[in-house]
Amino acid sequence: MRGVRALVLTGFGINCEEEMAAAYRLAGAEADIVHLKDVFSGKACLFDYDILNFPGGFSFGDDLGAGRVLANRLKYKQCATGESFFEQLQRYIAEGKIIIGICNGFQALVTLGLLPGLAPEIQQEVALVSNDSGKFEDRWCHCVVPKYCTSPLLPKGALFDFPVRHGEGKLWVPHEETRELIIRKGLIALQYCTQEGGITEEYPHNPNGAWMSCAALTDPTGQVLGMMPHPEAYLSFYNHPQWPQRLREEPTAKDEGEGLSLFKHIVEHVRATLHTAVIT
């Protein structure tokens, strides 16, 4: 059986591609870093990969809003196949493949309307807007996966420490109907919390003022995942700013960072899916 393959996009200001590719390689998958222009031209094919990744960064400098220019480029760009890139993304999801966006990548997926993906006709339903603090937040936060999350890409109930690095990370959901559907369908995939795992909207635990302390969303298929924190920045135990204290408290702690454990979970899920597809 072939291995899991991850495509990590780069270009136009994306700047976390190396860390994201390293995360997949350490998690046991193959990972290729490919410029978006090479995907548009047909030099690289999305459908050769199991997981498509939009890493964090500052696409187009974020000068016109979080991920908006990148999303418009993705939505309307015609590819060498004659399809728009957005049409390819829709077909990619229909084939059961995985799409992950982190930070700026999450912002692009929201603007494209792929998250939360509730409307019959794909359109933007929520937004990621300026932090309530009025400043760029660059620090570590506690996050928990709610037990009602329907995506298999995250381990339910898991508690993580991840860094955030954003000025526009507040999830804003303007319509009550959308809020109710997100909750009812279990689409909140990660929430900011206290060190003990208690959900709170209070600053600084919630670094941006997001509705429901939401740090990540999934779509109804569970295949599309977007998050503001950066798990790819915590691949080693020693990435954590409090690693000396943690090591004293737990001398036998693994060298593995919590972000790497998340990527391993994703890769194992995809590997199991591939194995099932081969058997059937």
DSSP 113: T
Which of 205, 230, 240, 269 is the catalytic position? 230
The answer to whether the CB of 26 falls within 8 A of the CB of 260 is: yes
- 54: nearest Cα among 87, 11, 84: 11
Cα separation of 93 and 200, whole Å? Answer: 33
**Number of neighbours of residue 148 by Cβ within 10 angstroms:** 12
C-alpha to C-alpha distances, 2 to 23, 28, 31, 126, 274, nearest whole angstrom = 19, 12, 13, 37, 8
- 177: nearest Cα among 113, 109, 118: 118
Cα separation of 252 and 255, whole Å? Answer: 9
Cα separation of 103 and 268, whole Å? Answer: 23
The answer to whether the CB of 46 falls within 8 A of the CB of 83 is: no
**In the annotation, is 232 catalytic?**
yes
Which of 16, 19, 103, 258 is the catalytic position? 103
**In the annotation, is 230 catalytic?**
yes
Which of 17, 125, 137, 232 is the catalytic position? 232
Amino acid at 175: H
Three-state secondary structure readout of 26-86: HCCCEEEEEEHHHHHCCCCCHHHCCEEEECCECHHHHCCCCCHHHHHHHHHCECCCCCEHH
Cα separation of 14 and 8, whole Å? Answer: 10
**In the annotation, is 202 catalytic?**
no
Instruction: Tell me the β-bridge partners of 14.
Output: 11, 57
Active site residues: 103, 230, 232
